Amino acid sequence: MLESQKMTAENFIIGFKHGIYIITNDACQICEDYKREIIEINSAHLHFVEAVTDADRQAIKEIVGRGGFPLTVGFWMNQVRFVKGGILYGKERIETFKFLEKFPDRQLKPEELEELKRAVSRVCKLALYLFPPGTDETARKRALNESYEHDELPIDVDEALKRAVPSSDLTEKMRLFRGVVGFSKLVVFDIFTTSDYGEVGTELMKMKLEDAEYGKAPIEYRTLQEAT
């Protein structure tokens, strides 16, 4: 066992989890036997955690959703991928530890770990995409496809209207968006080249700019060139 593979229960509980964790009880002979059997696996992403106090054991149970020791727990970017209790034997052990092949054969650099933490904290939020009339379909699709880079889940206003609202009445059209416009970002493309966004687009911008209830989430202006 490498020194870097040892981890206190406290560090496991509060830290970022990425790898396989062998969690044992400090007063458990089966746990010690299991550790001795796999101790030669010198992977930087295999960690040995010892639960010493009742508080440790309870916190670990809440994190992994299971009590009893030993536990073999796989995490990927702070998310539990599997939890297995008891000593693993034969094929099950081999298949379980293949999970380590997903990781580099070295410790992550601090900047790599920080990047993983940032990736986990990123959340895609709903965004209404407002394109000017006559927008080229290729440019439109490219902008929608690149929404993930902006941490957005896009709704194309024009396409939503075509699919869901057969009526030409503005009130009926706006009913489609009133429930989401307050907490959704409004992304307006090419505002510096046109002011024509149709009656629905104009109304959405007006709601965002003039009504505090709907203006909690921002308007963001982009050019279609930025999305190419």
Query: What are the tens digits of pLDDT across the range 95-118?
Result: 999 999 999 989 899 899 998 988
Crossing angle (nearest 10°) for helices 198-210 and 157-164: 120
At the topology level, CATH places domain 3-121 in Glutaredoxin (3.40.30)
pTM of the shown model: 0.60
pLDDT of res. 134 = 87
pLDDT tens string 193-206 = 888 899 999 999 99
**Cβ-Cβ contacts under 8 Å for 168 (sequence gap 6 or more):** none
Per the rule left: phi > 0, alpha: psi between -120 and 50, beta: everything else, 97 is: alpha
Handedness of CA 47, 51, 56, 58 (dihedral sign): positive
The reported pLDDT for the residue numbered 172 is 87
| Three-class secondary structure assignment of 189-222 | ECCCCCCCCHHHHHHHHHHHHHCCCCCCCCEEEE
Alpha helix (H) ranges present in the chain?
9-14, 29-38, 54-64, 90-97, 110-121, 137-145, 157-164, 170-175, 198-210
Res 1 pLDDT > 70: no
Chain centroid offset of residue 167 CA: 38
Evaluate if residue 227 carries a pLDDT over 60.
Answer: no
CATH 3.40.30.10 in the chain, residues?
3-121
Question: Model confidence over 46-84: pLDDT tens digits?
Answer: 999 999 999 999 999 999 999 899 999 999 999 999 999
Alpha carbons 34 and 92: distance in angstroms, whole number: 14
